[in-house]
Amino acid sequence: MGRTESQRGEDLMDFLSISHGASSDRGRRDRNEDFFGAVTPEDRLLDTRGILVAIADGVSGNTGGREAAEYTVRSVLSDYYATPETWGIPNSLDKLLSAANRWLLAQKGSLTGMASTVSLLVLKGDRYTIAHVGDTRIYLRRGESLTLLTTDHVWEGPELRHVLKRAVGLDQHLTVDYSEGQLREKDVFLLVTDGVWERLGQKRMHEILNLHENPERSAKVLVEQALASGGQDNATAQVVKIESLGRGMLLEGRDLPLPPRLKVGQKLDGYEILEIMHDSRETILYKVREESSRKHFVLKTLQPSMQQDEKACSSLLTEEWLGKRIQSHYFPQVVPASSGKRTALYYVMTWHDGATLAAHIESGRHFPVVEARQIGIRLAKGLAALHRLNIIHRDIKPDNILLGEDGKLRILDLGVALNPALNAEENDANPGTPSYMAPERIKGEEATFGSDLYSVGVTLYHLLTRKYPYGEIEPFQHPRFPDPVPPTRYRPDIPGWFEAIILKAVQRNPSHRYEFPEALLLDLELGEQPAFQSPSSPKRSRPSVWQIAAVLSVLLNLFLLYLAGIG
């Protein structure tokens, strides 16, 4: 079913729209060491990554100033849209600027002093994000006021006002300022180098912006006036005007109705219902068969009564959006819907025969230590793939871990996953299962990679002992967290090194836990090593040859003294 011209027009109104102008002049310098650029991508990337505007000023007096400014801007503009969509904007910019910083430092042998200031502006939906290093500046004109949004990184004192404390390529450790805020229609952003703002001052720049509403004209006049007022330095200005706001993350299927409650044998968009797998207060999971391929899939949707719950509908679409971006065999894969085929709000993922760890536990299955270790290794690998995308699962537990008949482990249910690329309101405040939640999360603190690893530790503990390290925790309970009970109290066959790993994972203090899945994975793969011996059962080392010889020598001397005494 195609979309009407009216609907297409409405879709265009969903996306952020700007007008942009820029001007740059070398002034009375031999060459222009400023560099600037902007990218407005196609609709999908405009929705997920936004518009990127950049300005840089190569450090004056160095042979590589221009090259540093150009490289910094070009590398960020070209690579930003290749970063994972699940990375938050500051995370993406920080990694790119750190990479540019390392590259510039590595070139110091060929070009002296390759360093540059840089100010970046990302406009996405109805918000803006700023990344800034140095003394280029970003201003915001809103209504009748012009506000400086950045801080100059220069040394204090009149004689040091041009000496930078921070710049890309200046030091091994690059610290970037980040800030963000809400956009409004008709906002005007001004990005300028010191050749403009220092000569004109904030009041004069504000007057020029008010006098010339066209961004291209504004930028040109700002540069001309800066040079006409006696400016000797390079002068660059970019002006960005917000014409219309976007709606934030636009998730495919947001306008679709929920399907009615379906029975076995009924069909929906070419899928035949085979079984109702899960039926809760909010969600329904069906096992379905695709008519065209005869393959089995899982169809997830909401209860029809949730139709007016915008938050629940948005969460389902968010879960689909995240699932599409996880390409790992440790997770079910989301099946892309054919254009125009989906008539209701649901999504489809691959079906895998098998049973969850919870089902195995309920059936009374005993897990040997060797198998539990392998489950831990695969869980760590799965979470490593998830965390590299900057996604926190927030509900790791036996119910959400599938052991497939194909021998593979898969992590299920991204329904409460946390990702900074999505709007804050699309993430529930504190979801999860209390017995598997880290102590700080029960207190209301935000989830971290480490809190996911805490849940892995509790899962392994429960898998082996059918107990919990701090006892079972009920919802709305305010538990105390004394020292965790060692799992060997219930399973003496657990080796000391494995117990040490589990106890480290479930420490109540986050700083004493594993911070990244790769660290947990390394410990599990190394296995029985001296570093992992339990403090309660240290491994005794054999005495050396020299120690034995020393003891025998002492005994011999004592014996000789004894004989001498008799004589």
| Alpha-carbon span 474 to 405, nearest angstrom | 33
Residues 448/517, Cβ–Cβ less than 8 Å: no
- What is the reported pLDDT for 533? 46
389 is a domain residue: yes
Helix 194-211 vs helix 215-228: crossing angle, to nearest 10:
130
Do the domain assignments include residue 551? no
* Structural domain that includes position 97: 13-244
Please give the Cα distance from 432 to 425 (Å, whole number).
17
Assigned domain for 394 exists: yes
Tell me how far CA of residue 330 lies from CA of 192, 383, 408, in angstroms: 47, 9, 7
Quote the pLDDT of residue 141: 97
Neighbours of 548 (CB within 10 A): 11
Distance of CA 544 to the CA centre of its chain: 51
| Residue at a domain's end among 302, 322, 350 | 350
Written as tens digits, the pLDDT of the chain (567 aa) is 233 333 334 444 568 999 999 999 998 888 899 999 999 998 778 888 999 999 999 986 656 889 999 999 999 999 999 999 899 999 999 999 999 999 999 887 655 568 999 999 999 989 999 999 999 999 999 999 999 999 999 988 666 667 899 999 999 999 999 999 999 999 999 999 999 999 999 999 999 999 999 999 999 999 999 999 988 889 999 999 999 998 766 567 778 999 999 999 999 999 999 999 999 999 999 999 999 999 999 999 999 999 999 889 989 999 999 999 999 999 999 998 765 688 999 999 999 999 999 999 999 999 999 999 999 999 999 999 999 999 999 999 999 999 999 999 999 999 999 998 775 444 445 788 999 999 999 988 999 999 999 999 999 999 999 999 999 988 877 888 889 999 999 999 999 999 999 999 999 999 999 999 999 999 999 987 644 444 443 343 445 545 565 566 666 666 666 556 555
Do residues 336 and 252 lie in contact, with contact meaning Cβ atoms separated by under 8 Å? no
Q: Among 207, 229, 244, where does a domain finish?
A: 244
Question: Looking at 298, 324, 350, which one is the last position of a domain?
Answer: 350
Q: Is the same domain home to 323 and 184?
A: no
Residues 287 and 376 in one domain: no
Res 114: pLDDT:
83
The dihedral sign for the CA sequence 226, 230, 231, 235 = positive
Angle between helix 89-106 and helix 65-79 axes, rounded to 10 deg = 140
Residue 45 belongs to a domain with what CATH number? 3.60.40.10
Domain total of the chain: 3
Tell me the β-bridge partners of 349: 298, 334
Q: What is the pLDDT of residues 226-263, one digit of tens each?
A: 999 988 889 999 999 999 998 766 567 778 999 999 99
Specify the pLDDT at position 534.
44
Q: What is the per-residue pLDDT across 287-311, written as a single tens digit (0 to 9) for each? A: 999 999 999 999 999 999 999 998 8
With CA atoms as reference, report the closest residue to 19 among 156, 194, 217, 206.
217
* pLDDT score at 479: 80
